Chains A and B, each alone.
Chain A
Amino acid sequence: DAGVIQSPRHEVTEMGQEVTLRCKPISGHNSLFWYRQTMMRGLELLIYFNNNVPIDDSGMPEDRFSAKMPNASFSTLKIQPSEPRDSAVYFCASSLWGDETQYFGPGTRLLVL
């Protein structure tokens, strides 16, 4: 079975550029989570969706970050404009709503120069 799929796996960009990260959740899962992992702050929840609707975006650091889920099989996290402090590994995870277990993708390693 395919797990959570994320693309790209690695992204290097320059400050000020727009970055789009993509996620395909496990088929049948109706909850999707975006996390950011850094050495300094550990694993942080940015936003999560249920049935394609954003439920809690209180973890989104600022207006430069936005996330969408246009359908049950696709989500994007966009950073515009990007800054060096956005450099991190971004994970997507999915689950069945009400099921406590989340399944993580392999992550996107972002470097903003």
Chain B
Amino acid sequence: GDSVTQMEGPVTLSEEAFLTINCTYTATGYPSLFWYVQYPGEGLQLLLKATKADDKGSNKGFEATYRKETTSFHLEKGSVQVSDSAVYFCAQFSGAGSYQLTFGKGTKLSVIP
């Protein structure tokens, strides 16, 4: 079945460091892909998404490119801030009648000054 695998955390970076969080998916078709972010004590918020191959989603300095050939959707940011400390979830939308989001297990990011 459909699944999402993302790198396990926690990830600890210094402020202004480069961030990469890896995400790969398995699906029968070509799902839409998402990154959600969860700040401490809050629900998940959509960070960015891409709906087809080679699309790049971007928001708040974060980027991810839909790579069909490697079934990947890695999250990157060039310079992280302390305020980026959160848990990041990769997800795919399983359409074709099921209309479900399948989430990865989440990667906790801590950014230290």
Contacts and interface: CB of A to CB of B under 8 A. Distances in A.
B100 interface: yes
Contacts, number: 49
Main secondary structure on B side of the interface with A:
strand
Tell me what chain A mostly uses at the interface: helix, strand, loop, or mixed.
strand
Interface string A80-113: 0000000000010100011011111111000000
Given A43-B89, A43-B106, A101 B100 contact: no
B100 A4 contact: no
Contact of A106 (B34, B42, B49, B104): B42
Contacts of A104: 36, 43-45
A107 B43 contact: yes
A48 B106 CA distance: 22
Contacts of B98: 56
Interface in B25-39: 32, 34, 36
A31 B43 contact: no
B105 interface: yes
28 contacts: A33-B101, A42-B106, A43-B44, A43-B103, A43-B105, A45-B100, A48-B99, A48-B100, A50-B99, A56-B100, A93-B43, A93-B44, A97-B99, A98-B99, A100-B51, A100-B93, A100-B95, A100-B101, A101-B46, A102-B101, A103-B46, A104-B36, A104-B43, A105-B43, A106-B41, A106-B42, A107-B42, A107-B43
